[in-house]
Chains A and B, each alone.
Chain A
Amino acid sequence: MPPTLPPGKQINDPSDVVRGLEQQGYITDTALATVVFLGTRLGKPVLLEGHAGLGKTEVAKVLAGFLGARLIRLQCYEGLDVNSAVYEWNYQKQLLAIKIEERTRQTVEEQEKHIFSREFLLERPLLQAIQAQDFSPVLLVDEVDRADEAFEAFLLELLSDFQITIPELGTVRARHVPHVILTSNRSRELGDALKRRCLYHWIDYPSLEKELRIVKTRLPGIEAELSNQVVRFVQSVRKLQLYKPPGIAETLDWAQALTSLGKRELDPAGVEATLGCLAKSMEDAGKITEAGVSNLIAKNPTADLRG
């Protein structure tokens, strides 16, 4: 069952997705757009893998913005359980209700029925995601690799049936299947079954041209010279075998920092002052300095970019 789009919304092919996401300020390519398109068309979850800081989470946000749908986010972590992901009973409220109704001569069965009704239910992201009444929301399951295998198994079940059984209440079945985006940093390999259920997309570091476009879109005020140098610098830094190579997020942070400092172009002093935006550990910073900051600053970037 494919997700329901908001009234009046149409997505006919991947290029609609490219345009739509671009309107939200997200530069993408046909490959990713195709996968997102297929996700909405076939109702399959999209699994995005890739290093940190490459805009995996952003995909869900801009997709929601583009569709005009609600974004529901579940951040995964080790030990995430059904209580925080699906639903929980509001215990304090239940206890109060029992106290209040003490004198009403209700039978135990009646009381039980009352305090295990929807009024006392705390809906967590996954339950919210299948409760939509009008059209499909976007469900972002962020960093699913951090959750443990047991939760992954539960998620797999949910993604197959889009229904959740609450023993006290019965089964909730989705009227509108959500658009599901899962992200993973590959801190562990996900189970085969889950991967098989998803459309897979590997988000790699962007090409020079793409990264330039991203910087220009996200930071419209930046000097052309500076953005060229920044992107080239970052692209060479990624080749240095750092422990944590900078992602697009770091590029943007860094460009922002340099503009705030009033830099119009890169110079060794400026780079050293702002190195913390790029290198997230002493060792990595050391490696960049070792490679020679002035060597990494492209001499005449605009010229050979045009060529």
Chain B
Amino acid sequence: MNADSGSMIPEEETLVSRIVEFCRFCRASGLSAGVKQSVDALEAARGVGVRDRDILKSALRSVLCSNKDEWEQFDDLFEAYWGSAPGSAISPRKRPPADQRLLRGFRAITTLIGKSTARDTEDDGGKAVLGATALERLRRTDFSQASQDDLPELERIAIRLLREMSLRLSRRFKSMREGRQVDLRRTIRRNISRGGDLIDLSYKARKIQQDRLVVLLDISGSMNPYSLFFLRFAYALQRHFKRVDTFLFSTQLTEITVLLRGRSPAQAMRSLAEQAAGWSGGTKIGESLREFVTCHGTRVLSRDTVFIVLSDGWDTGPPEALAEQLHTIRRRVRRVMWLNPLLGLPEYKPITRGMSAALPYIDVFAPAHNLESLLALERHLARN
């Protein structure tokens, strides 16, 4: 079947250790295969034999990969380890050169985190007692106008209030959707002695299904003063909603759902630093949305999805692209919310080309410039 047949395979006794080593190599190169998979890999190799290189490759791949990305990586890993030519030695691991964009992104987020002074634990919110008037003032301070002295305090109460809000929201979902359904199986059993007349009814516990939230955060330059608080907002939502997917976008799209699942907000922010590319660059909203729809649409868009965009609507791409994508999304979700920090300015009108193209497909267009406006979203997020 294959010209290389047989020749790539070392002596019988070293074969086992080479396969195990290959599994380690894959793990070190980023595949998620664990120790159990090494055992499976040996079993698979035994199952297909090692005479045919392609077959061995397919067999190992089916065991060591568990999604498309890994699947696509595997060819290179296999070549790198077993060599493309028969009998060649193990090549040294290659590390990709540090991506320039990533480095830039890193710097951007470290400055962002530099501003953040919140401590590592989320639960210290209640300790300092703030005067009622001061609290009221901070709730209304535009994030971009907050003075350096106010920032720590503002962030602290933001964490606390947002957490309370999302907790309330997730609880409300539960109580609202409780309904009763007869559990026939238990009912029949309980009523056997009554000659089959169903008198005592047993009820099933109704499955609780929360809405799904999809959050897209604009992190382009113009959004800089707000990004930190929006991340906090997304973080808070993700803490208490089971199904939240969070994405960042500027000129491209990055999913950060997994990163926000960190233990504390500060830790989550730090792990973001390693991820985000294109922080504080330009904005291509339409293009980012298109990428979102093609890559993640089938997974996260559904009838019970609330789709939330946090952006000022400054789009350097064509407005038609934005309108088209938003239209596609609108048809597939329960509600589209666009939160715009500029809406807090008294003189602001959504007349930027991007924003006005988007408006027809937006159900809730709300400001998001201060804490109060973020907290007001509770009303829109609750199912009605």
Contact = CB atoms under 8 A, between A and B. Distances in A.
A248 to B, nearest CB: 18
A99 B294 contact: no
Contacts of B185: 88-89, 91
Given A30-B1, A95-B188, A199 B55 contact: no
A199 B62 contact: yes
B373 interface: no
A243 B48 contact: no
Nearest to A39: B62
B128 interface: no
Contact of A35 (B58, B68, B189): B58
A99 B195 contact: yes
Interface in B34-55: 34, 36-37, 40, 43-44, 47-49, 54-55
A37 B48 contact: yes
A304 interface: no
Chain A's interface size range is: 35 or more
B228 interface: no
Nearest to B70: A200
A185 interface: yes
Contacts of A30: 1, 54-55, 58
Nearest to A30: B54
Given A30-B1, A95-B196, A243 B294 contact: yes
B315 to A, nearest CB: 20
Given A41-B47, A91-B185, A186-B298, A196 B196 contact: no
Given A108-B193, A189-B67, A200-B71, A243 B293 contact: yes
A210 interface: no
Contacts of A79: 207
B44 A91 contact: no
Contacts of B65: 200, 202
Interface string A192-203: 100110111110
Nearest to B60: A34
B66 interface: yes
Interface in A63-93: 79, 88-89, 91
B154 interface: no
A34 B184 CA distance: 46
Given A99-B196, A186-B299, A200-B62, A243 B328 contact: yes
Interface string A173-215: 0000000000001111100100110111110000000000000
A161 B136 CA distance: 59
B32 interface: yes
Contacts of A95: 188, 196
B63 interface: yes
B68 A201 contact: no
B68 A98 contact: no
A112 B189 CA distance: 7
B153 interface: no
A222 interface: no
Contact of A102 (B43, B47, B188, B195): B195
B87 to A, nearest CB: 22
A199 B188 contact: no
Contacts of B328: 243, 283
A14 B48 contact: yes
A199 B41 CA distance: 10
B59 interface: yes
A112 B193 CA distance: 9
A32 B66 CA distance: 15
A13 B62 contact: no
Given A34-B58, A186-B298, A283-B328, A98 B192 contact: yes
Interface of B: 1, 32, 34, 36-37, 40, 43-44, 47-49, 54-55, 58-59, 61-63, 65-68, 71-72, 184-185, 188-189, 192-193, 195-196, 207, 293-294, 297-300, 324, 328
Given A34-B62, A98-B188, 5 more contacts: A35-B59, A95-B188, A192-B32, A200-B63, A241-B294
Interface of A: 13-15, 30-32, 34-35, 37-38, 41-42, 44, 46, 49, 79, 88-89, 91, 94-96, 98-99, 102, 108, 111-112, 115-116, 185-189, 192, 195-196, 198-202, 241, 243, 283
